[in-house]
Amino acid sequence: GNSVTQMEGPVTLSEEAFLTINCTYTATGYPSLFWYVQYPGEGLQLLLKATKADDKGSNKGFEATYRKETTSFHLEKGSVQVSDSAVYFCALCISNFGNEKLTFGTGTRLTIIP
Amino acid sequence: GAGVSQSPSNKVTEKGKDVELRCDPISGHTALYWYRQSLGQGLEFLIYFQGNSAPDKSGLPSDRFSAERTGGSVSTLTIQRTQQEDSAVYLCASSSRPGPSYNEQFFGPGTRLTVL
């Protein structure tokens, strides 16, 4: 079956620090990969995605590269801000003109201190 | 435009009672998903609806759980004889008609269910 393993939190960093949240996956088939973010008091929202090997998804200064050889999709940001404090979820789906149910990792809570 | 809405936002119930959770997807979205976010299990898929096709119920944890989608729009998730392990946040998401590439799922704010 499909599964996602991501770095356990919580993670606490100082403002302007470099961020990496690790994510690896197991999938039967060729998945699309995602990072979702849940800000305090808000709903889950898509942060970035990549649909094929070597694709790089990016948004709001965050980046993640689809690495098929290592089955990974690590999230990175060069300089974090207090406003990046949230819970981050790595996810995958097998997209095939039909059910695109997402398989999520357990989530990583990130806190940025000024 | 309006996003996905869910009601109620919070529900507290006693063990053994039935509950109904409602989801209003984005207008025009044909696909609708229910997920559950709980401390023990993380975020997990429950059920998927697409148009008039038979739903994918493969994620429902027991036969106490059921869902329907009326008129291809509003969906109701029903939990019968609730148990304490059903306590979780229930999330609904919708997306546009499936195609050759991933269609972004837009999530509602969730319903927090507490079973006493």
Q: Inter-chain contact B109–A95, Cβ cutoff 8 Å?
A: no
Q: Inter-chain contact B59–A101, Cβ cutoff 8 Å?
A: yes
- Does residue A30 have a pLDDT over 60? yes
How do residues B45-86 score in pLDDT, each as one tens digit? Answer: 999 998 888 899 999 999 999 999 988 799 999 999 999 999
Interface of B with A (CB under 8 A): 3-4, 31, 33, 35, 42-45, 48, 50, 56, 59, 91, 93, 95, 98-105, 107-110
* Model pLDDT, residue B17: 98
Distance CA A110, CA B2 (A): 29
How do residues A67-82 score in pLDDT, each as one tens digit? Answer: 999 999 999 999 999 9
Distance from CA of A102 to the nearest CA of B (A): 7
Write the CB contacts of B63 (distance below 8 Å, at least 6 apart in sequence): none
Of B44, B102, B110, the CB nearest to A95: B102
Helical (H) or strand (E) element with A87: strand A86-93
The percentage of chain A sitting over the pLDDT mark of 90, rounded to a whole number, equals 81
Q: Inter-chain contact A99–B48, Cβ cutoff 8 Å?
A: yes
CA angle in degrees (0–180, nearest 5) for A32-A74-B58:
40
One-letter identity of residue B25: P
Q: Strand A86-93 vs strand B19-24: parallel, antiparallel, or unpaired? A: unpaired
Write the CB contacts of A104 (distance below 8 Å, at least 6 apart in sequence): A4, A36, A89, A90, A91, B35, B42, B43, B44
One-letter identity of residue B48: Y
Of B33, B42, B91, the CB nearest to A101: B33
* Model pLDDT, residue B40: 72
Q: Inter-chain contact B104–A46, Cβ cutoff 8 Å?
A: yes
Write the CB contacts of B71 (distance below 8 Å, at least 6 apart in sequence): none
* Model pLDDT, residue A108: 95
Write the CB contacts of A56 (distance below 8 Å, at least 6 apart in sequence): A50, A63, A64, A65, A66
Higher pLDDT, B101 or B50: B50
pLDDT grade, residue B101 (50/70/90)? low
Q: Inter-chain contact A100–B44, Cβ cutoff 8 Å?
A: no
Distance CA B66, CA B46 (A): 10
Q: Furthest-apart CA pair in chain A: how many Å?
A: 45
